[in-house]
Amino acid sequence: MISAEEVATLLKRRGVLDGTPVFLEEETQMPVPPLCEYGRYLSTALLDETTLKDYGRAVRRLDDHLAELGSDVLSAVESDLVSYRDHRTRWQDKPIGGSAWGKESFVQDDLYGFLVDRGVLTHRPARVAARGRNALAPRLRSSMDIRHLTFEQYRYFRDVGLGGQLPNSQVNPTFRGWSPLRGRAGSDIALGSGTRWREWSTVLLPEIGLWPGMPGGAAEFTVQACAKYGKDRPVYVPEDAVASADLFCLLERPDIVRRAARGLERKARDLFVVGDVDVAGGRVRGVMDGVVREFQMSAMDAKLRRITVYEGEFGLEALTLFVCRGGLMPGADAWKGYRHRAWTRMTELADETAPRLPARRWRWHDLRHTYALRLLTYLENLMDGEAGPPPPAPLLPDRAHPAQSAADRQPPTRSRQSRNHLPVSPVHGRSDQRVRGRLLRLGGRRRGDLRRDRLACPVRCERGR
C-alpha cells in the first residue's frame, strides 16, 4: 500500500511535464512505445511547452503520412522520407517553405538519431551527408526577414488599424473593434521599449509602474522567464508608452475587468490568487492549488502570468496589464487576431493620403526592428561626430528616402531626453493633434521631450487585499 505522500513524491520526481507529446494507437488508444519514449526524451531537454507541442505535431504528421504509405516510423526507408518531404513542400494544399521544413527535418533527424542511440534501430533510414549533416534538410539558407516602419506607416498602423480611426484622424463610425486603446498601448510599448512580443504582452501592472504607491512616469524592470532563451536583462519603457498604457487602464480595462470578475471567481481554484505584492523586491506571494507560493516576477513564465490574479475593485482581476474578454491575459492567437483585423482595416481604408503598405501584413516584431534601426542610426550619427540630442521620436523619416522636405532636414530642437532610450509619442485621439516639424505636440506640450525618471526613494511594499 503506497501512501499519498509517496505518490506525491513520485510524481514530483518522475511526473510527465506539461506539453510532453504522448502518442496513442488510433484504434486501441494504447501508447506507441518508441514515439512515447521520444516524447519523454524531449521533455527532459527542458524545452518550452510550445516547442514540445510543435515537435510532437511534427512527429505525428510524419507518422500519419507513413501510415498512408503502408509503413511506420520503425520500418520506413529513405524513399518514404523523401516522399514525405515532397508532400510537405510541394504537393499538399498549402506547401510549407524552406524555413518550416528545416524545423521538421530537424525533428525527423533527431527522432531517428534517438532511436539509433537507444538501440531500437540499427541505422538511420536516410543517408547521412558530409560532416554528419541531414541529407533531407533544405539546401538553401533562408535570408533574414527584417522590416521597419516609417513614422507615417506606424501612425497609420496604430491609429487606423488598431485604433479604429479614419486616415484623416477622425472617428470611424463603422469601427466595430474591441478595445482599440489596448492595441495602441501594446504597439506603443513594443516600439518604445524595443522588446519582443512575448516580453511586452505579458508585462505585469507592478512591473510597468501602474500600481498603487508607485510614482509613475517611465518604468524599468527585468525580464527573464518570458525572454528569448530565458536570459534576464533590464527593459526600459519610456514615459509616453507608460502613459498610453495608463490611458487603457483608465478608460477600457475597468469595464473588461468588471464584466469578467464573476467568471474568475468561479475559476479561483485554478488561478494563482496573489495577496501580497512586494514592488521593491519584485516578488509576489499568493495561493495556488491550495498552497502558499512565492515567485520572483521576472521568473514567472507566460503560463503562470496568465493565471495570476488579485483582489481588485470589482473582485478578482488579472495582474497582467493586458486583459481580454475572459478577464485574463490574451494569448498568442488573440494578439495575432488583433493584428490581422488591423491589417484588414488598413487595406480597406487606404487612399491617396495613406502611406505605402507592404505586400505582407505588418508583424509585432517589425516594431522591434524599427526601434533597433532608429537606435543604431542615432549611435551611428554620434560616432560620425554629428552633434545634437537623440531624435525626438524613433520613427523619423529614414535617411535612405531622399524625399524629405527642407524643413524636415533641419536639426531638431534641443530637448531633455534619455541618452540611452528612444521615446515614442502616443496619440490619444484628441482634436488638437498635429505634427509640427519633427516633434509631435499634444495640447501645446512637447510629448517628444522625455527624461528618464530616477526614483528618489525606495518604493514601499504594497499588499493586496
Distance from C-alpha of 146 to C-alpha of 157, rounded to nearest angstrom? 17
Q: Taking 70 as the threshold, does the pLDDT of residue 397 lie above it?
A: no
Q: Is the pLDDT of residue 357 over 90?
A: yes
- The pLDDT assigned to 316 comes to 94
Report the pLDDT averaged over residues 410-426.
Answer: 36
Render pLDDT for 315-346 as a digit per residue (tens, 0 to 9): 999 999 999 999 999 999 999 999 999 999 99
pLDDT higher than 70, residue 12: yes
Please tell me the predicted confidence (pLDDT) of residue 178.
79
Give the whole-number percent of the chain exceeding pLDDT 70. Answer: 82
Q: Using 50, 70 and 90 to split pLDDT, how confident is the model at 44?
A: confident
In this prediction, residue 150 carries a pLDDT of: 93
More confident residue, 98 or 247: 247
Residues whose CB falls within 8 Å of the CB of residue 221, separated by 6 or more in sequence, listed in order: 203, 207, 208, 234, 235, 282, 297, 298
401, pLDDT greater than 50: no
Find where cell 531517428 sits.
112
The arithmetic mean of pLDDT across residues 51-75, rounded, is 92
Kindly report, residue by residue over 211-246, the tens digit of the pLDDT: 998 988 999 999 999 998 888 999 999 999 999 999
Look at residue 453 in the predicted model and tell me its pLDDT. 33
At 16 the pLDDT is 77
pLDDT at 429 over 70: no
**pLDDT score recorded for residue 279:** 93
Sign of CA dihedral 260, 262, 263, 265: positive
Kindly state the average pLDDT of the residues 450-465. 34
Query: Among residues 431, 461, 460, 434, which one has the least CA distance to residue 448?
Result: 434
- pLDDT of 411: 42
- What pLDDT was estimated at residue 285? 96
User: What confidence tier does 18 reach under pLDDT thresholds 50, 70, 90?
Assistant: confident
Q: Which residue has the cell 474578454?
A: 325
Which tens digits make up the pLDDT trace of 126-155?
888 777 778 888 876 656 678 999 999 999
The pLDDT tens digits for 275-286 are 999 999 999 999
Give the strand pairing for 316-318 and 445-446. unpaired
Query: What secondary structure, in 3-state letters, does the chain show?
Result: CCCHHHHHHHHHHHCCCCCCCCCECCCCCCECHHHHHHHHHHHCCCCCHHHHHHHHHHHHHHHHHHHHCCCCCCCCCHHHHHHHHHHHHHHCCCCCCHHHHHHHHHHHHHHHHHHHHCCCCCCCCCCECHHHCECCCCCCCCCCCCCCCCHHHHHHHHHHHHCCECCCCCECCCCCCCCHHHHHHHHHHHHHHCCCHHHHCCCEHHHHCCCCCCCCCCEEEEECCCCHHHCCEEEEECHHHHHHHHHHHHHCHHHHHHHHHHHHHHCHHHCEEEEEEECCCCEEEEEECCEEEEEEHHHCCHHHHHCEEEECCCCEEECECCCCCCCCCCCHHHHHHHHHHHHHHHHHHCCCCCCCCCCCCCCCHHHHHHHHHHHHHHHHHHHCCCCCCCCCCCCCCCCCCCCCCCCCCCCCCCCCCCCCCCCCCCCCCCCCEEEECCEEEECCEECCCCCCCCCCCCCCCECCC
- Per-residue pLDDT of 88-125, as tens digits, reads 999 999 999 888 888 899 999 999 999 999 999 999 99
pLDDT score of 449 more than 60:
no
At 185 the pLDDT is 96
pLDDT at 454 over 70: no
pLDDT of residue 425: 34
Mean pLDDT is lowest, of 37-51, 101-115, 244-258, for 37-51
User: Who wins on pLDDT, 336 or 399?
Assistant: 336
Q: Is residue 435 scored above 70 in pLDDT?
A: no
User: What local confidence, expressed as pLDDT, does residue 293 receive?
Assistant: 94
Residue with cell 554629428: 386
Q: pTM (2 decimals)?
A: 0.73
Position 308 pLDDT exceeds 80: yes
pLDDT of residue 381: 87
Share the mean pLDDT of the chain.
Answer: 81
Segment 164-178 mean pLDDT: 86
pLDDT of residue 434 exceeding 60, the answer is no
Q: What is the pLDDT of residue 141?
A: 63
